[in-house]
Structure 1
Amino acid sequence: MVKSIRNICQVSGSERLKKALIIIHLIVLFSIFTLHGFAQRYQFGDYMQFGRNELQKGHFNQAINYLNSAIRQRPASYEGWFLRGIAKYYLDDFYGAEQDFTESVKYDPYNAEIYHMRAIVRSRQYNFGGAMADYNKAIMLNPKNPLFYLNRARSHLFLEHYDSCIVDCNRTYKRKYKKQDVFLLRGTAQAGLENYDEAIKDLTIAIAKDTTKTGAVIQRGAVWMELKQPDSAIADFNRAIAINPDDSYAIFNRALAYMETTDTTAAFEDLNKVLEMSPYNSYAYYNRAILFLGRDDYAAALKDMDDVVALNPENIIVYLFRGKLKTSIQDYLGAINDFTRAIEIYPDFADAYYERSKVKEMVGDFQGAEKDMKFAYLVDELNFGQGDSISLERQMYLKRLIAFKGEFSEKKGDHDTPILNGIQIQPPYKQVLFATNIEKIVFFESIKVPAYHNNVITLANDESLVNMQLSQAELNKMVDSVSITDSAAYFLKKANLLADIHDYKSSMDYFNKALSGDPQRIMAWFGRANLMLKLVSLTQSDQDQTYLLNPIDDYSSVDDQHIPARNYSYEEVLSDLDRVIAIDPRFYLAWYNRGVVKSLKGDFWGAVSDYSKAIEINPEFSEAYFNKGLILIYLNLKTVGCQNISQAGEGGITTAYEVLKRFCNY
């Protein structure tokens, strides 16, 4: 019955009180919604402050996490992009830093410091044309900042523009910046011009400016080496090592000095120390190979040269010298292959044609030898005397092809080999049991797949979150709490719980029962695929160690009675994941897991395609970026591979920055 307006207006005291409370609640709700906008602004400021604090502490990954939130809330603020670029720079993610500085400068195009920082990261990527343009822009906007001239001097020095380097050092000095860096750079440039007296003078001043740093001491030692005074050089290197006994660069340079004095025993000791401290240092392997050659130990020399090639797969000088070594041990086919590889990388490499010509003549290929010799002379004539007329881009390309990778830093981890198969891919996602609901909710919200979880089991790729301490009684209690009216759901839950306590045989039985009861149950296909993948890894005894991927789990503690009698294959795993994708093509974790399986099979292009599809569905899927990037680097598509690794680092994969440092920076 509808009340009249009169009846509605005639309310009792208690009703008036209820209405008053409703009005108050509405006012409070209105206030909450109104203040929400202010809270958003305060949250942006909070995230920015948190990011700054973490930057100051040197916690760069944490800073990136906070700055990601700030950028999402206010993408048109230059400062969020700028500070995140700074954090990436310190993590050696120069590509990612450049992208952030480019975004930052869009919103503040008159900020000289943004151009300055972008110039620095561009120079670290060998983009010196872009770097010089940015340095010039920064100086135009703020000609008083001495650091702009100082860092431009560094780029001039790398380009061997020694006169320009000295000019910029002098400009830095005139702007009241008189620290060690100025004299170190200027002294090094003077040495490049063979003004050794001036070089020694500047470097001696640099040493006096800061006696706690080794850079100027090592550089002066290098000048003594140029002056053919190895004993004076050794004295400086000893001084540097006394300042910092863990300075592998100083130890390496002392090894070179010992080689000049023919003290090969001391040189060997120093190079071995360098490789203990920085096992990915191809400089050290290369020079130790030379020492082995001096001892006529060709096998050891060849092994070290192989390590150099593994670390420098595009270094034409390495192929040239390994080819010469193979020639000396009469491995003519191997030598020809090395010279050919050098030519494939750089078709104008006259020395490689010349050496290949000699070997072809040795094996009776006189026509091929004559052709190579003619081409070597032709390339020499075309390139002779070009010097500075060679384009800047070509100069940088050549520098990359002949630059050894000298990672003079402490060893950061143990890997079987100093190549990509020492880096483990991100593991597949699977259904797991969490210790607490809070852990489950927090983690699950981060992967945004709310359609595929229940009160106990969810999806994760972090084994540390799994509760492996459940007793059989607790497990049965959890299983019994599931309604058995839907038998497929009951079997699926039991299968997952049994898998989590490593009873794989029983788990497989229950997955099969779940699928028999409901062939469209997506998580049964997904769970069975993951279980079969575990069993493949467990039962395979002949893993191909040449793949870049390591086994993804350690099942050494699994009891044999809990393993199914028959073996499973990657094809069966893929078949189940195909069924998942057919039921729900938007379930990006299935694409990702399928990429992992294809990676393990060695179907790298298939894996790249699946990771790309997962990223298309979820553009914030960091693990997919990481695995895709690793594979692309392995396939020698370094630029796009490193871009994907950078994206993974931005998304929170901290391992990404080790990959960037080792494989993406020159």
Structure 2
Amino acid sequence: MKDMISSFTRGLCFGNKLGCVSRISFVIISLIFHFSPVFAQFNTDRLIAIGRSALYYEDYVLSIQYFNQAVIAKPYLYEPWFYRGIAKYYLDDYAGAENDCSEAIKRNPYVTNLYELRGLTRIQQEKFSEAIDDYTRALKYAPDNRGLWHNRVLCRMHDKQYDEALLELDTMQSRWSQYARAYVMRADVYMQMKDTVQALSALDKSIEIDPYDGQAWAARSIIYLSREEWDSAVVQLDRAIHLMPRHAGCYINRALARIHLNNLRGAMADYDMALDLEPNNFLGHYNRGLLRAQVGDDNRAITDFDFVLKLEPDNMLALFNRAVLLDKTGDLKAAIRDYSKVIDEFPNFWTGLEFRAACYRKLGMTKQAEADEFTVYKARLYKHLYGTQPRMDPSQIRKRSDADVEKYNQLVMEDEQEQEQEYENEYRGHVQNRRVEMDFQPMFALSYVPQQHEVNSRNPYDEQVEKANAQLKNRQFYISNTHTSLDDAQSAVYFQLIDTLSQGIENTSSTVSAANLLLQRAVAYSMLQNFEAAIEDLSTYLYIDSTSVLALWQRAVCQMRINRFQASQGTNVQLQNASVRGDLTHALELSPESPWLLYNLGTMAAFQQDYAVAVDYFTAALRHDPSFAEAYFNRGLCRLYLKQQQEAVLDLSKAGELGLYHAYSLIKKNNK
């Protein structure tokens, strides 16, 4: 194909305007067909490559569709089954992922990753015994894979195979004597066996090897909490929180210890922080509600119990606490409603009957009040009625599973204070962990979907795009740097659009019309993450009109997305990056005032860690568009990397002001 193109380009002179090429329309149309295979004609390797790219960009549903086509085309290959299993794993379809891994293993039983992924899917389904079998088989082919040993030990712990787990930990520690996490797991096994002395010894060894492992300090705190040694627990948790400042459970546990040390202000601060990090944390809301009630912050305590009851509508203890607070704040009818629900569930709960009777009397409902009081009187002839709310007693803690309504005012803790152990999971790391707070905003490109901004709803404008839209009938181009993952219905729309555009290209005899359709199809391919096909269409378009800013711009972005995926796989992409820079630079020469092209060049430089050059490009983009939030954000990040703290904060603050609100959390993080 390249030879054919070269022969044509040597013999013919393509002008810069479409009118100059009318005499070679037949040649161009021929090239279009060579560059534009329909979806069904893609070879399987290419389908898998496109699917993996979509997987990398977290477009899981779309990637599954590509792998489906590969499975249909060549069902005997294990790769499409395996990669489809990864996509399903990301979508939490663990049963489907397990089935795909099993199919892949049937086709190639010698690939370690297949057993590793199937083991993870089985862990998510709590099939620990079967996961152990997978890791055992994987270790036959990769006996030195420490992650496989790590996960198998954790599975044995969950399966209560404590002796086997200890034996395997012996093996791990003989092979990897400086692997601190092995000692943390050993401590966890001893904790399950109620041997806190040996657990502490193992944790001491772990901290000796790696004093910066927050999990080890958190595990030690759990032992001290179980012994009710509150001061020691706080010391361990202080260290754990210093090393793991975003771990909500550590704040919850420290709050519990601080309450026992009568440090209510510190406990409240810990609950606030825990709920900032994990807004749906049950223990955080429940215990903070009790603490707020104790210090007289009744209205905000009600808010906490409202939230608890959204999480667990049938939690009678939370309901009774809310009733008491509604009673104290004067909402007597609502209090009676909640009291009644609790009493219906626990007819012999005398405290509830007394409190409801008091509400009835305040409302002048004497008959109902006397009925409740008489019920209690019959049961407690020997006792005086008490009508005051018992204060929270921090020395009393109930387990979360304890539903004794008489313990409504006791703090709650989990049934088992187990150390959270993480499975070694390379699949989670490849995608989710790549999305970090300090990640640059992506490049802008043509899209069929408007820019989806956090707050600011402005529609990016470009003169070249508007001219192109004037020639479109049913759709229009937008400038966007966001990509929404497509579901089956949405991707089907773009596949249909590609078929329609391909038919239009086949039926047209006009080079101008063909070029217009090519650009549309390239954008449709981009929406489907099929960047190679998009680049082929755009390259053909540029043979027709080498001065098209939009084609150069879109081709550069498509190539950059391919490059980032390939770089993540360990491929050297320096040459490909040079072609991206060439396209963007050429486009900028043709449209020197485009803030989008300047921004894209800056973003590319930032990706390559050339931060000073990137700052210059972003600054130039902001001269043309002073409201360019993404340019402020990226320039701010570059300045952080350049240690220009003051200027960085100003840029990030401006980005937040313009709608990129997560810039504020970045400011807060870096100020700390």
TM-score, with structure 1 as normaliser: 0.47
Task: Say which structure, 1 or 2, has more relative contact order (CA 8 Å, 6+ apart).
Answer: 2
